[in-house]
């Protein structure tokens, strides 16, 4: 996985995201728009540094987590604060939109 981005699965998701701010990318390797989102996520991860975590969840390998968040289209990006969704985007998003949402969640 890319620097600054953590890959999570059904077993690791809850514990990793229960505290702090996380930007979660629900994706799949066969999804073209998901691949287009990756360099943007890398930029976001480099910008937020230790202020928030950027994570990816492969919907094919982690169907329980995807179902828990009602993921129907990918990429879907969700900003979590202390394990609770505070913002959500569907489709490829610009870094500025994601950074703005993460900053709002950080308060």
Active site members = 31, 34
Q: From 66, 55, 70, select the one nearest 2 (Cα to Cα).
A: 55
How far apart are the C-alpha atoms of 15 and 97, rounded to whole Å?
26
Query: Quick check: 34 and 66 in contact, CB under 8 A?
Result: no
How far apart are the C-alpha atoms of 46 and 87, rounded to whole Å?
20
């Amino acid at each position: 996985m890319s620097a600054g981005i953590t890959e999570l699965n059904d077993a690791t998701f809850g514990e990793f995201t229960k505290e702090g701010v996380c930007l979660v990318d629900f994706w799949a390797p066969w999804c073209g728009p998901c691949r287009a989102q990756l360099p943007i996520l890398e930029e976001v991860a480099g910008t937020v540094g230790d202020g928030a975590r950027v994570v990816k969840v492969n919907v094919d390998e982690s169907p329980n987590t995807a179902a828990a968040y009602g993921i129907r289209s990918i990429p879907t990006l969700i900003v979590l604060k202390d394990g609770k969704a505070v913002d959500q985007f569907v489709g490829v998003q610009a870094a500025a939109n994601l950074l703005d949402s993460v900053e709002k969640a950080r308060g």
